[in-house]
Structure 1
Amino acid sequence: MPDWSEDRLRLALSVATGPTSDYDLNPDVAPPTANLRPAGVLAAFHADDGRLVLTKRASGLRHHPGQIALPGGKVDAADADPTAAALREAQEEVGLDPAQVDLLGSLPPHRTVTGFAVTPVIGIIRGPFQPRPEPREVEEAFTLPFAHVADPARYRVERRRWREGWRSYHAAPFGPYYLWGATARILLGLAKGIQA
């Protein structure tokens, strides 16, 4: 079980990894490679104990309604890049002031079945922070312990029916929170780097 350490995160970002995809466990389905919309998500860990801020998306959203997710979203015209989008969205969704986030770096983009190239941005939250969910976008904001997120053994492969076939995906449930899909795959990549 990995103990919290900022150095672990910094080292994980230095481990060479390739891009990931919602299709990693489904080699019979070709992932889209063209016209992917850029997006950014923020994996923000509290400096004091490493707990990770996550959201449960509002059920009325167009993409991934009701799912557990990292704060983030698509890159808007006013955003300089996916990092700027991740910070802006985290402020909008959970009230996290970008000035409180010490950015460490990012992971390679993750391709989703909904046509996004999602850049996971990794940061440390400095000082006190209490998430304030924006109700139109976020049903609930919560944290998961570093020991759960950073342990590759907590992740498993599951499958379900999807588009007239079976789709396999990663999952790492924790209590009432069903962490799965793109968010689980992104965090599994980070966890593997932490264990390297």
Structure 2
Amino acid sequence: MSSAPAPESPDLVPLSKLPHFDARTMPVAAIDSHLPPIAPEQLAPQAIRARFLAPPLWEPESRIEPRFTDRQVAVASVLVPIVLREQPTVLLTERTTHLSTHSGQIAFPGGKRDDTDIDAVDTALREAHEEIGLERRFVEVVGQLPSFTTGTRFVITPVIGFVDPAARLSLNAHEVADAFEVPLQFLMTPAYHRHHALEFDGVRREWLSMPYMDGSTERFIWGATAAMLRNLYRFLAA
């Protein structure tokens, strides 16, 4: 899989609109080294398909963030694109810094539901095509996870899809600064899941981060994206 060149982003773009806050500098409260990783055989395509066809009894670890705003709730979907390489990877994006919400953050391709969208899957596939040029014919949708509500009032349905490595990407430079892949095994290993907490305006806010070194570049995965990946871990581990 290849993509059109995207502009480089600054090294330290603010990751939140909270004043004097940068998630990368927050202390680590705990690391989940005591939890087992998902075994490689459980991350094979046939195993993931089987899990969604016959889901276990489980509970998502995180469903809602404390709100940052009183804006109207927006229904949205993201595609969690698992690229079917010999060792599966997850395709992620880095949002451009001028966007009004979640600017500069690592995210799944996705966005708000349009009136013309049929369902959550339709939204996720449409947005993935608009943001990164991923054509629907290269995606096999295998399931969904429970919705996750962000502090910015987006109610997001994560749609899990297998992506053909032959797919070509074309990034929408207005929305996406970069696209990259992270090994699924890394993301499904809790020893790389770090817990953080901060009290702001009398509200305790807790979040996860999963920083990944992509060569010499740190891909700082945190917040809602990390929470949805953690729920995927809980689903596969159940």
User: What TM-score comes out, normalization by structure 1 length?
Assistant: 0.86
1:78 aligns with: 116
Gaps of 5+ in 2: 1-36
Coordinate RMSD, CA, aligned: 2.4
Q: How does 1:151-190 map to 2 (within 5 A)?
A: 151-160=189-198, 162-163=200-201, 165-175=203-213, 176-190=218-232
The answer to whether the 8 Å contact 1:18/1:108 transfers is no
1:159 deviates by 2.6
Range that drifts further, 163-172 or 114-123? 163-172
Distance 1:30 1:86, change over 3 A: closer
1:18 deviates by 4.3
Measure the CA separation in 1 of the matches of 2:220 and 2:232.
Answer: 18
The answer to whether the 8 Å contact 2:67/2:151 transfers is no
Cα deviation 1:127-170 (Å, max 9, x = unaligned): 50243221100011011001112223321211346446542101
Measure the CA separation in 1 of the matches of 2:161 and 2:57.
Answer: 18
- Asked whether 1:110 is paired with 2:148, we answer yes
Distance 1:40 1:123, change over 3 A: same
The residue type paired with residue 184 of structure 1 is A
Gaps of 5+ in 1: 24-28
Distance 1:37 1:17, change over 3 A: farther
Q: How does 1:48-59 map to 2 (within 5 A)?
A: 48=85, 49-59=87-97
The residue type paired with residue 131 of structure 1 is L
Greater Rg over alpha carbons, structure: 2
Measure the CA separation in 2 of the matches of 1:63 and 1:148.
Answer: 27
Identity, in percent, stands at: 32
1:37 deviates by 1.7
User: What is the number of equivalent residue pairs in this alignment?
Assistant: 190
Distance 1:73 1:17, change over 3 A: farther
- Asked whether 1:15 is paired with 2:56, we answer yes
